[in-house]
Amino acid sequence: MVFLTALLVLWTFAVAKAVNTSSFLPITDKPRVFILSDIANEPDDAESLTRYLLYSNQFQTEGIVAVTSTWLQNEVHPEQMLSIIDAYSNITENLNRHAPPGSPYPSGKHMRSLVRKGAATYGMTAVGKDIPLSDGGSLLLKRLQEESDQPLWVLAWGGTNVLAQVLYKIHDTYSATEAATLRSRLRVYTVSDQDDTGAWIRQQFPEIFYISSTHGWNQYGLAAWIGISGKDYYGEDHGGPDFSKVTPNWLRENIQVGPYGKAAYPDYQFIMEGDTPTFLYLIQNGLGVSEHPDYGSWGGRYTKVNPSTVLNFNHYSDAADRVVGKNNETFISNRATVWRWRSAFQNDFAARMQWSLPANISRANHHPVISVNGSFDIAPMNVIAAAGSTITFNAAATSDPDGDSLSFNWFQYREPGSTNWNVAGQVPELNVTLTDGGQKAQVQLPAASESCDGEALTYSGCWLLHLILEVTDDGYHPLTSYRRILIQTTNATEVSV
């Protein structure tokens, strides 16, 4: 018995000992984020906010506003946001044991200070010359007026009338030049249209960077964002995505755990977390590039609805990826641009929920830190290389803070850079040969007849090809980091790495 007690003490000490946070994946850039949520409409907004707070040290949160939608037209519920934030405030000390230097989790008090009410009325009824801004609208306008080298991402989980009333105010009270400057600071990602202001915004201000699925009203099963979890409810891409990590039982065992998960994360009603892709799009894991929706990320892949340079139309909507599903069949689907990453982003969520637990019971895991050719950057690696040449990439210096074993997966992401629905036979193929357990990749570029075939979208007439390195550890909840390598092929003979 004494021996067992000693072992238990040693085990508890080993788990609870200080972690070397300097070895964690760094957060090099914090997007400015402003959330509009019709929380209380159904449980999914509460679920998304619960997850968002576990990533809140990756963002500079500028506002969290309770808004209406077509499903919640005459009331707003900031008190539900405050309740979740109160639960979060109890676990920030635990979370900060797992935060890299310089990127602590914001306090619950700070997050509470960002909560506001939007207009408690539907859509365009909140927009007009003699209609005052809501508290949420006033905060949004203030954030847009603040000069920053970072754009302001408005993530709309409900209706967008708070954004619309601010844009109306800007247009009505500022000079054309000043108004254009303020609008240029905006980046918008909405979960479809959930009131009648989205279409008005895009029509009135087509230059605003605006990501939104475009489909018939209420036809949400056609939207990309349902790839977060919606296969069984909507019946789309049946047999493709793995449903095992979005079942009520998996969520109960992996997410609804500990004081935070149990208190804050409700059971889902239709699908889980339909709004979450808005901020998964901005997660800094080496995969996504926020200014390039067509590159693809955990939040999906999007392309311009209209490429006209005359109209400067900046609305991005669903693109499609070709993905081999769980049933080994190939799916060409907008939803696949999200569900292809489902195992990784669900493991990531579960791992972060473990961070919320006390150190002596947490099964904590931390992300691999990728090195490619000596570079540890999260931003894409840019390579210019002659068609037909061979490039070698070395990821042997990649490390894991926990000493976990790592698996290396190199693959070409063929869809980015093409507007074609089906890239098979169009985007030239990289020939990748792996050595040293996947730590090294030798990449043979296609010949000039394929690399520079006149179909490429780049200025040079040669294809920009995307190579992704995906590194996953073998922790309790395996975690994945990425490095995107952008290979600009050229007819020239020089190679620049």
Q: What local confidence, expressed as pLDDT, does residue 5 receive?
A: 39
Q: What local confidence, expressed as pLDDT, does residue 13 receive?
A: 35
Using one digit for the tens of pLDDT, what is the confidence trace for 427-443?
899 999 999 999 999 99
186: tokens are 């905006």
Q: Among candidates 402, 425, 416, which has minimal Cα distance to 472? A: 402
* Measured distance CA(57)–CA(104) in Å, rounded: 6
Alpha helices in 334-461 (DSSP H): 336-339, 342-355, 448-451
Radius of gyration of the chain (CA): 23
Strand partners for 390: 444
CB neighbours of residue 325 within 10 Å: 19
The larger pLDDT score, comparing residue 234 to residue 170, is at 170
* Measured distance CA(68)–CA(123) in Å, rounded: 8
466: tokens are 């995307």
* Measured distance CA(341)–CA(298) in Å, rounded: 6
Domain 366-490 fold = Immunoglobulin-like (2.60.40)
Kindly give the interhelix angle for 44-54 and 78-89, rounded to the nearest 10 degrees: 40
62 burial via Cβ count (<10 Å: 0-12, 13-18, 19+): buried
Q: Among candidates 366, 383, 365, which has minimal Cα distance to 469? A: 383
Using one digit for the tens of pLDDT, what is the confidence trace for 28-66?
889 999 999 999 998 999 999 999 999 999 999 999 999
CB neighbours of residue 117 within 10 Å: 17
pLDDT at 6 over 80: no
Q: What local confidence, expressed as pLDDT, does residue 269 receive?
A: 86
- The residue behind tokens 């990533």 is 55
The larger pLDDT score, comparing residue 211 to residue 495, is at 211
Domain 16-284+300-339 fold = Inosine-uridine Nucleoside N-ribohydrolase; Chain A (3.90.245)
365: tokens are 């895991």
Q: What local confidence, expressed as pLDDT, does residue 287 receive?
A: 97
Q: What is the percent of the chain where pLDDT is above 70?
A: 94
* Measured distance CA(318)–CA(301) in Å, rounded: 7
Angle at the Cα of 96 from the Cα atoms of 95 and 97, rounded to 5 degrees? 90
Q: Among candidates 400, 211, 398, which has minimal Cα distance to 319? A: 211
Using one digit for the tens of pLDDT, what is the confidence trace for 404-414?
999 999 999 99
Q: Among candidates 491, 484, 490, which has minimal Cα distance to 468? A: 484
Kindly give the interhelix angle for 342-355 and 44-54, rounded to the nearest 10 degrees: 70
CB 210 within 8 A of CB 196: no
Q: What is the percent of the chain where pLDDT is above 90?
A: 80
Confidence of residue 7 (pLDDT cuts 50, 70, 90): very low
pLDDT at 457 over 80: no
pLDDT at 281 over 80: yes
Q: How far is CA 327 from the centre of its chain?
A: 26
DSSP H/E element including 153: strand 152-156
**Whether the model pTM is above 0.85:** yes
Alpha helices in 97-234 (DSSP H): 108-112, 135-145, 161-173, 176-184, 197-204, 231-234
pLDDT at 456 over 80: no
Strand partners for 190: 156, 212
User: DSSP assignment of 418-437, as one string?
Assistant: ---S--TTTSPPPEEEEEGG
pLDDT at 212 over 80: yes
Location of each CATH 2.60.40.10 domain in the chain: 366-490
Location of each CATH 3.90.245.10 domain in the chain: 16-284+300-339
